[in-house]
Structure 1
Amino acid sequence: MSDKDNSMVNDEAEAFAAAAFEQFDSAGDSKKMAGNSDEINLDVILEVPVTISMEIGRTNINIKNLLQLNQGSVVELDRFAGEPLDVLVNGMLIAHGEVVVVNDKFGIRLTDVISPSERVRRLG
């Protein structure tokens, strides 16, 4: 490394080293700054976006058959007509439901909600 490169690295290191953080004099000051931490943490969690999806069914198919699919092809799923759909949040089953139409759009009416303890059990 040249002297010029060493000088640039040292200058950058000094710039990072110069960063300073505010010091709190007492625990009370930090609480004033943070507010009610339980309230703040809950507000943050409530704003986290999640993906909710409905699953009609599944099937396994080999790549040869997958490549032969075209418009009009029918893929048979593992569920019977009229069976409840799975309601998934970020890929995790949370409920079952049935399809409804609301203002010309599809919706779902929940028929069974998986208990939180059962959801945790399924994680393991």
Structure 2
Amino acid sequence: MANEIESGNQEGAEVFNELEGNDKSQPQEKDLEFIKDIPVQLSVEIGRTKIPIKTLLQLTQGSIVELDAASGDLMDILVNGTMIAKGEVVVINEKFGIRLTEIITPIERIRKLNK
């Protein structure tokens, strides 16, 4: 019975501490827990180019469009349209994949958003 009272008091104290903001567990982990299952769009960009509408209208099946990226360049990895990393293309079980080689820091991401 003493154990029940002690564990009850501990649980009550934990709830009280949480309500008071005195919870010693990782607050960032708790704050992020509820968003971990939200789906995001991850895409890999191999390059870009600008072409006049005249050229665009002349494209047909088999046309080749030259991009600004060179062969062997790292690819941009975007989440919901925001670059978060760079990486290189790999093949996994006959499917394309991407190996992350550079992670964009949160500070760099915020700087890009402010531009």
**1:45 alignment partner, SS class:** coil
Is 1:66 the counterpart of 2:56 in the alignment? Answer: yes
**Larger Cα-atom Rg:** 1
Q: Deviations over 1:96-118 (max 9, x none)?
A: 10000011110000111111111
Separation of aligned partners in 1, 2:72 and 2:32: 38
Separation of aligned partners in 1, 2:57 and 2:103: 37
**2:47 alignment partner, SS class:** coil
Aligned to 1:117: 107
> TM-score under structure 1 normalisation?
0.66
Is 1:80 the counterpart of 2:80 in the alignment? Answer: no
Separation of aligned partners in 2, 1:117 and 1:86: 17
Aligned to 1:101: 91
Question: Deviation at 1:43?
Answer: 3.1
**1:117 alignment partner, SS class:** helix
Question: Deviation at 1:57?
Answer: 0.3
Is 1:49 the counterpart of 2:50 in the alignment? Answer: no
Aligned to 2:80: 90
Q: CA RMSD in A?
A: 1.5
Separation of aligned partners in 2, 1:79 and 1:65: 20
Question: Deviation at 1:81?
Answer: 0.7
Q: State the identity as a percent.
A: 58
